[in-house]
């Protein structure tokens, strides 16, 4: 965990996910004083544990004599989270602070606002947290018209036009990879962290062209490991390529002939970018964390209009 800054922050940006919590202690609209990382995600907290967790992490950064605004995105606003923040309905602009849920706190030095996610009725879909990354993208590029790909445990493909999320689809590709690589018979064949880029590229192409026999080709990874000593790094890359390939096959209307930005700077975002470029899509990449922070700052702008920055 990062140590809090000595300066008292003006406000706090929070990305409260299922498994992790990231806090940024902010001065003015966009200057980061400190970042705090914690594994106190939504999945491990009861509702009455959120406020003590936040107070414990902020420590001496809590000011005296005023309430510290905390702007939160992510799963803390889910039905199982700190307080349910109702969804905005697509098509819509990424929800800002005016639509946030104010959380009642026992600590008077906290003023907590949780941003809503976005819902889509047909086909039924939801997002929480990703809409804030999209808000960050639009803050930097207000004229953007195209597709945002947000890789992760549940990868999102969002169609953006005229400053709004027009439609989106979610794919459980990351969760499927985790389940297959850790809990299925394939765990014996894909152990380790190695990677084989040509094997990944070939698997993406194969899955795109023949998605129907994916279950058979998944088991072939195990058979080749037993009979032909398939290297674990090759098997792991092929597993990822096959799963991303069938996702790309289903998401083709979202990327074919479109301007695509992959929001992420980690290995999985790089894999999506490589897969798209192999299909002739000149996909850009953007730092998801930086966009999350930019989106939280954009949401906080509304509060800043009515509440001047306090003097430290």
**What's the average model confidence in pLDDT over 14-26?**
96
> Phi and psi dihedrals of 159, rounded to 5?
-90, 125
**What's the average model confidence in pLDDT over 290-296?**
96
Task: Look up the CATH superfamily of 11-169+289-306.
Answer: 2-keto-3-deoxy-galactonokinase, substrate binding domain (3.30.420.300)
Q: How confident is the model at residue 7 (pLDDT cuts 50, 70, 90)?
A: confident
Torsion 235-239-244-249 (CA) sign: positive
Instruction: Choose among 36, 43, 45: nearest CA to 4.
Output: 36
Please report the pLDDT score of residue 6 as a whole number. Answer: 54
Quickly list DSSP for 18-76. SS-EEEEEEETTTEEEEEEEES--GGG--GGGHHHHHHHHHGGGS-SSSPEEEEEEEGG
Burial of 241 from C-beta contacts in 10 A (0-12 / 13-18 / 19+): buried
Q: pLDDT of 137-153, one tens digit each?
A: 999 999 999 999 999 99
d(CA 6, CA 110): 18
**What's the average model confidence in pLDDT over 91-107?**
94
The structure tokens 């018209």 sit at 145
**What's the average model confidence in pLDDT over 49-53?**
98
Give the rounded percent of residues in the chain with a pLDDT score beyond 90: 88
Averaged pLDDT of the chain: 93
Q: CA 80, 72, 21: angle at the middle one, nearest 5?
A: 75
In the chain, what are the domain boundaries?
11-169+289-306
Q: How confident is the model at residue 266 (pLDDT cuts 50, 70, 90)?
A: confident
Instruction: Choose among 272, 128, 149, 275: nearest CA to 205.
Output: 275
Residue 310 has pLDDT above 70, yes or no: no
Residue 184 has pLDDT above 90, yes or no: yes
Q: Which residues pair with 13 in a beta bridge?
A: 24, 71
Q: pLDDT of 100-131, one tens digit each?
A: 999 999 999 999 999 999 999 999 999 999 99
Residue 134 has pLDDT above 70, yes or no: yes
d(CA 39, CA 120): 30
Residue 308 has pLDDT above 60, yes or no: no
**What's the average model confidence in pLDDT over 240-247?**
98
Helix (H, G, I), strand (E, B) or coil at 211: helix
Q: Over the range 110-148, which residues count as b (16 or more CB within 10 Å of their CB) and which as e?
A: bbbbbbbbbbbeeeebbbbbbbbbbbbbbbeeeebebbb
pTM, two decimal places: 0.92
The structure tokens 């990327």 sit at 255
Residue 279 has pLDDT above 70, yes or no: yes
Please report the pLDDT score of residue 4 as a whole number. Answer: 43
Q: pLDDT of 62-84, one tens digit each?
A: 999 999 999 999 999 999 999 99
Q: How many CA atoms lie within 13 A of 199 on its CB side?
A: 16
Residue 311 has pLDDT above 50, yes or no: no
Please report the pLDDT score of residue 5 as a whole number. Answer: 46
Please report the pLDDT score of residue 290 as a whole number. Answer: 95
Please report the pLDDT score of residue 192 as a whole number. Answer: 87
Please report the pLDDT score of residue 302 as a whole number. Answer: 67
């Amino acid at each position: 965990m990062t140590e809090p800054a000595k300066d008292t922050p003006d406000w706090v940006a929070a990305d409260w996910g299922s498994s992790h919590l990231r806090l940024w202690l902010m001065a003015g609209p966009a200057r980061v004083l400190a970042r705090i990382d914690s594994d106190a995600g939504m999945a491990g907290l009861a509702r009455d544990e959120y406020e003590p967790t936040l107070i414990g992490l902020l420590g001496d950064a809590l000011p005296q004599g005023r309430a510290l605004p905390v702007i939160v995105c992510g799963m803390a606003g889910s039905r199982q989270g700190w307080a349910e923040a109702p969804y905005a309905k697509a098509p819509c602009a990424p929800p800002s602070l005016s639509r946030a849920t104010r959380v009642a706190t026992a600590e008077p030095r906290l003023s907590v606002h949780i941003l809503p996610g976005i819902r889509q009725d047909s086909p039924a879909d939801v997002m929480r947290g990703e809409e804030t990354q999209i808000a960050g993208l639009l803050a930097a590029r207000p004229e953007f018209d195209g597709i945002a790909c947000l890789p992760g445990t549940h990868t999102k493909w969002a169609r953006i036009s005229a400053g709004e999320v027009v439609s989106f689809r979610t794919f459980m590709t990351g969760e499927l990879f985790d389940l297959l690589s850790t809990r299925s018979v394939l765990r014996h064949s894909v152990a380790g962290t190695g990677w084989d880029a040509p094997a990944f590229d070939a698997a993406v192409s194969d899955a795109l062209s023949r998605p129907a026999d994916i279950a058979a080709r998944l088991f072939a990874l195990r058979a080749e490991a037993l009979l032909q000593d398939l290297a674990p790094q090759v098997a792991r890359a092929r597993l990822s390529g096959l799963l991303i390939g069938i996702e790309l096959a289903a998401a083709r209307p979202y990327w074919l002939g479109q301007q695509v930005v992959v929001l992420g700077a980690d290995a999985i975002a790089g894999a999506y970018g490589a897969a798209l470029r192999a299909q002739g899509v000149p996909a850009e990449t953007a730092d998801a964390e930086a966009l999350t922070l930019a989106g939280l700052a954009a949401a906080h702008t509304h509060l800043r209009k009515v509440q001047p920055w306090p003097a430290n």
